[in-house]
A and B are shown apart, each in its own frame.
Chain A
Amino acid sequence: MPENELFTPGHTACAGCGAAIALRMVMKALGPDTIIVNATGCSEIFTSKYPQSAWRVPYIHCLFENAAPVAAGVAKALEVSGNDHTKVVVIAGDGATYDIGFGCLSGALERNDNILYICYDNEAYMNTGVQRSGATPFGTNTTTSQVGSKIHGKTEWKKPILDIVAAHHIPYAASTTIAYFADLDRKVKKAAAMKGARFINIHAPCVPGWGYDPALSVKLSKLAVETGMWKMCEIEDGKETISVPPKMTPVVEYFKLQKRFKHLTPEEIEVIQKKINAVWGKQ
């Protein structure tokens, strides 16, 4: 069984890691004719410690913030050598994507570089110990958006990465989660068959960073969609299509399972609920 996996067991992700689930699903969708360009972060650290690697496809890691241009360089080298079939795919966390690598991401999208950029979003800099990122939701407790006597968690709202990415007018932008595996599989395969700059953001719960029983990773991803906290959609030619409409389950159902939200007061939860309602045009 490990022989068939392009993303093998033996990696050192935490038990129940949402990112590991995402990577396994992504590699099943991509197949062997793929070159992975990885940014520093959890995925890099838990898959490629010399002399071991969990990757059975060609793989390169350079730095934290340059996966997009490194991938552009790989794609260009393939192009000039006449290879029009090998897929070049970035795997990067939200830290590399929303923050430190944001400028380089925008450059690659503006040039329409022929790469598929996949972000696994666990909503903080998890590898370095759960520090806040631009992807961290409002109110979240992280080590750099701590809950104290004066400030009660992150004071900024989550950066709307998909809107920003889509505004570059790239051929395809989408978001998905590990809970809806058929959706993730379909979107990755669809994007992989296209040319130009493509972006997929995957909601990937983090056991130690979010603080929950490891068995709940998939359930939390499902709740993120059902509450409307995570929008599952595709954006092509400027048009957004919702993949799974939210049931509008109260956000408190999502928060109460995670330690990172346990400090939120009913008033703060109400502020977030109102914001989510507004996003979805509900009262």
Chain B
Amino acid sequence: MAVETIEGSFAIAKTVSRCEPGVVACYPITPSTHIAEDLDKLYADGELKSYVAVESEFAAMSVLVGGSAAGARTFTTTSGQGLALMHEVVMAAAGMRLPIVACVANRALSAPLNIWNDHQDSISERDSGWIQLFCESNQEAVDTIPQAFKIAESAMIPVMVCVDGFYLTHAVEQIEVPEKEMIAQYLPKFNPKIKLDAAAPLSLGVYAAPEHYQDFREDLSKDFEASNAAIERYAEEWSGITRRSYGNGRWEEYKTDDAERVLIAMGSVCGNIKVAVDELRKNGEKVGLLRIKSYRPFPYDIVRILRNKQEIGVFEKDLSFGAKAPLFSEVALSVRDWRMRVSSFIGGLGGKDVTVEHAKYMFTKMKEGAEVTEFIK
């Protein structure tokens, strides 16, 4: 594999095209726009089978429902308001068990209008029945795309690959974009048993009255739990091919073994947190980072890493008005039997920078030994 100097968006688009989706439909919205545009250029150059330039994000996801139901591998990209507009179809796609893959270039939600990065868009879909994988780097993003298709198509659950808008999408860096042959050996052809086929007619998306509806939801819930194993297995398989790994596919531990204080976070901010960890360790502070990659399904088994720590802090770029923050809530639940102090830090909203200094601040704050909830300024 050759290393290229390439914009994150283009690397993602190239990787998608090498996974050979049958139906791609995108509506441009900052900061996922470059991915959408790059996919169209690949289509214009004969490297993508289709590109439907739809009239809205809602239409994009709807086109993919039809394409996926008719047996095609499908992909779209969006951000912020676009994902919010897709919400109705996002929920339907999961309920219909369609293995659609979407790359969400995370962006803040209106109002006020803001095109910059935070996680509120994806977090607001956490109940939808989509698997949600958050990437720290562009290299991880291109490595996650083939995994996303494989996980989706084996579990028949749609997958959202989340990358921080601008920080990743618009960063030009050295990335090894997976070769077509590598992907071909890893990702089997999509061949669903249940699909729209005149030779074997079925009625998909029928409505379910009270005596049946809950059965479908329970079943999806059960299959969702089971997908944890698939996520780990397919991550390991891909690592075997690329010789790169990012933890176990569900989370990554960075110097947590002997850490007394652990900060938990998702996405590209973890890069800065890792730098803070290294700098504080130079001064003898025993700190570490637990990066969550799979937000859904949530890895409650991180408790085995956290249970003997002195302080836990959760940093996130999202919130839930009137309640504890989404990532914090899951972490607090996972350690509930251990009566630990878990602090909640919210920041980076609407693209507000979260620096190495901010990360150090959070570790220092945790040293005070009180459970806090605060916004990082």
Residues of chain A touching chain B, judged by Cβ–Cβ distance below 8 Å, are 32-35, 37, 44-45, 48-53, 55-63, 65-66, 68-81, 86, 103-104, 106-107, 110-111
Contact = CB atoms under 8 A, between A and B. Distances in A.
Contact of A73 (B66, B197, B208): B66
B109 interface: no
A60 B98 CA distance: 12
A61 B88 CA distance: 14
A50 B208 CA distance: 5
B49 to A, nearest CB: 4
Contact of B53 (A37, A63, A111): A111
Contacts of A58: 196-198, 200-204
B203 A73 contact: no
A66 B25 contact: no
B72 interface: yes
Given A73-B62, A104-B56, A60 B198 contact: no
Given A50-B206, A62-B62, A107 B55 contact: yes
Contacts of A70: 62-63, 65-66, 69
Interface of B: 22-23, 25, 49-50, 52-56, 58-60, 62-72, 74, 88-89, 92, 96, 196-198, 200-209, 212
Nearest to B202: A58
Contact of B206 (A53, A77, A81): A53
Given A53-B206, A62-B89, A103-B55, A74 B67 contact: yes
B85 to A, nearest CB: 11
Nearest to B204: A60
Nearest to B213: A50
Given A35-B196, A66-B59, A81-B22, A76 B52 contact: yes
A34 B92 contact: no
Contacts of B96: 62
Contacts of B56: 103-104, 107
Give 3 closest A-B pairs by Cβ, nearest first: A73-B66, A107-B55, A53-B203
A35 B200 CA distance: 11
A61 B71 contact: no
Nearest to B93: A62
Contact of A35 (B53, B70, B74, B212): B70
7 contacts: A50-B212, A58-B196, A60-B205, A62-B62, A65-B58, A78-B70, A110-B55
Which of A55, A66, A71 has the most chain B CB within a 10 Å cutoff? A66
A76 B204 contact: no
